[in-house]
């Protein structure tokens, strides 16, 4: 079966229990762990993340790809103890989603909070114009779609999602849940390691060896500054790329892989990363083995 995966793209959402980790980063990490499990189970699975803080582009790409079913993974189950929640738009997707949710919650050992009807015309669900694109767009194309809140970013559940082994468990549970609907033979394929963290406070942060061919890097910033810029210099060519200045007010996640593309192609070599802000803020760079 062809399965489309739509992880959260809410980079600006970090909750009160996950500090320097956003919903998008954690949900996309679970999805990347889930994809090879579904493939090993005999399915064709593709991830469609779309642009930052906008789910529409990913949903449109999923429709263009064409699939038998779509599952969107998020981490905002309305606070409280660990629990899962289904959001659906059309009745034809509800039974599929409820089965996925039931198996997932059973495998995770968490509360099943049931289903919630998400309708685009209800303004409370579209704070920035289109909060249900991941449901509306595939559904309009005839693709059954379920949005699963795998847990919650806030305490007490939030800290669980900082652990690589917990996200691996969630990926295993979601694979079993999807296969309960789609069929397939379950196998174990994932890794449990999380990653090294380099962090500090100040106006400047320097990391001398970002090896993008072997590691994935996420740069988190927290605080307030009128301008932040960062420069990546490829050690094998000496070519540098500097970002445009951007303000910071709160928490932000920067994808170093996107910045490393110079000008259009990504090198497998190492980079020096130099970051500077107009005022002292907190920097946190995580290095995760691919």
Whether the upstream peptide bond of residue 7 has omega within 30° of 0, thus cis, is no
Q: What's the helix, strand, coil split of the chain in %, to 5? A: 30, 35, 35
Residue 134 lies in a domain: yes
77 in the same domain as 168: yes
Q: What is the rounded CA–CA span in Å between residue 286 and residue 277?
A: 19
Whole-number Å distance between alpha carbons of 52 and 11: 6
Nearest Cα neighbor of 177 from 14, 12, 37, 6 is 37
Instruction: Supply the pLDDT for residue 258.
Output: 58
Neighbours of 151 (CB within 10 A): 27
Asked whether residue 141 falls in the same domain as residue 260, the answer is no
pTM across the whole model = 0.73
Q: Are residues 89 and 129 in the same domain?
A: yes
The verdict on 170 and 239 lying in the same domain is no
Asked whether residue 173 falls in the same domain as residue 231, the answer is no
One domain, residues 216 and 168: no
Q: Report if residue 187 sits inside a domain.
A: no
- Same domain for 178 and 214, yes or no, is no
Q: Kindly state whether residue 285 falls inside one of the protein's structural domains.
A: yes
Q: Does a structural domain hold residue 241? A: yes
Check which CATH number belongs to the domain holding 207 and give it.
Answer: 2.60.120.1300
Distance, in Å, from the CA atom of 219 to the CA atom of 120, rounded to the nearest integer, reads: 34
> Which H or E run includes 159?
none
Q: What is the pLDDT of residue 129?
A: 40
- One domain, residues 90 and 172: yes
Domain with residue 173: its CATH number is 3.40.630.40
Residue 150: inside a domain: yes
The pLDDT score that the predictor gives to residue 191 is 52
Query: Rounded distance, CA 2 to CA 281, Å?
Result: 44
Contact 256, 217 (CB under 8 A): yes
Q: Are 236 and 270 in contact (CB under 8 A)?
A: yes
What is the number of alpha carbons within 13 Å of residue 54 lying toward its C-beta? 8
Same domain for 159 and 210, yes or no, is: no
What domain count does the chain have? Answer: 2
Among 122, 148, 182, the domain-final residue is 182
The pLDDT value given to residue 14: 80
Cα–Cα distances (Å) from 176 to 38, 88, 134, 171, in that order, read 9, 20, 22, 9
57 and 174 together in one domain: yes
For residue 194, the SS3 value is coil
Closest residue by Cα to residue 227 from 277, 273, 275, 274: 277
Residues 6 and 68 in one domain: yes
Q: Which among 156, 182, 208 is the end of a domain?
A: 182
Residue written as tokens 């889930």? 34
pLDDT, residue 209, reads 77
* Domain extent for 226: 196-289
Q: Which of 182, 211, 244 is the last residue of a domain?
A: 182
Judge whether 156 lies within some domain: yes
Q: H or E segment at 244?
A: none
In-domain check, residue 11? yes
Instruction: Please report, in tens digits, the pLDDT of each residue of the chain (290 residues total).
Output: 899 999 999 887 787 878 778 899 999 999 999 999 999 888 999 999 887 767 788 999 999 999 999 999 999 887 788 999 999 988 889 999 999 999 999 999 999 999 988 875 544 444 444 457 899 899 989 999 999 999 998 889 999 998 999 999 999 999 999 999 998 777 655 554 567 778 888 999 888 778 777 777 888 888 899 999 888 888 777 888 887 788 888 877 776 665 555 444 455 678 888 889 999 998 888 877 76
Residues contacting 173, CB < 8 A, separation 6+: 103, 104, 107, 108
CA distance 93 to 77: 19
**189 part of a folded domain:** no
Within this chain, do residues 141 and 202 fall inside the same structural domain, yes or no? no
């Amino acid at each position: 079966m062809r399965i489309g995966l739509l992880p959260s793209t809410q980079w600006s959402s970090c909750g009160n229990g996950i500090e320097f980790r956003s919903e998008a980063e954690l949900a996309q990490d679970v999805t990347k762990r889930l994809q090879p499990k579904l493939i090993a189970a005999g399915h064709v699975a593709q991830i469609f993340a779309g642009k930052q803080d906008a789910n529409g582009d990913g949903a449109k790409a999923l429709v263009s790809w064409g699939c038998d079913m779509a599952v969107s993974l998020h981490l905002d189950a309305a606070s409280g103890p660990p629990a899962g929640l289904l959001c659906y738009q059309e009745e034809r997707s509800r039974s599929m989603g409820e089965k996925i949710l039931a198996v997932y919650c059973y495998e995770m050992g968490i509360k099943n909070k049931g289903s919630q009807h998400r309708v685009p015309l209800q303004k409370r669900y579209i704070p920035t114009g289109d909060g249900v694109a991941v449901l509306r767009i595939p559904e309009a194309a005839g693709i059954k779609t379920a949005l699963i809140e795998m847990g919650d970013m806030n305490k007490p559940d939030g800290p669980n999602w900082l652990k690589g082994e917990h996200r691996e468990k969630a990926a295993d549970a979601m694979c079993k849940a999807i296969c309960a609907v789609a069929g397939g033979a379950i196998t174990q394929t994932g890794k449990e390691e999380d990653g090294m963290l380099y962090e500090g406070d100040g106006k400047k942060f320097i990391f001398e060896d970002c090896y993008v061919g072997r590691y994935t890097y996420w740069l988190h910033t927290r605080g307030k500054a009128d301008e932040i810029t960062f420069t990546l210099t490829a050690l094998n060519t000496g070519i540098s790329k500097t970002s445009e200045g951007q303000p910071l007010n709160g928490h932000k996640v920067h994808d170093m892989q996107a910045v490393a593309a110079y000008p259009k192609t990504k090198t497998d070599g190492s980079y020096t990363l130099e970051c500077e802000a107009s005022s002292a803020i907190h920097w946190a760079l995580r290095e995760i083995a691919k």
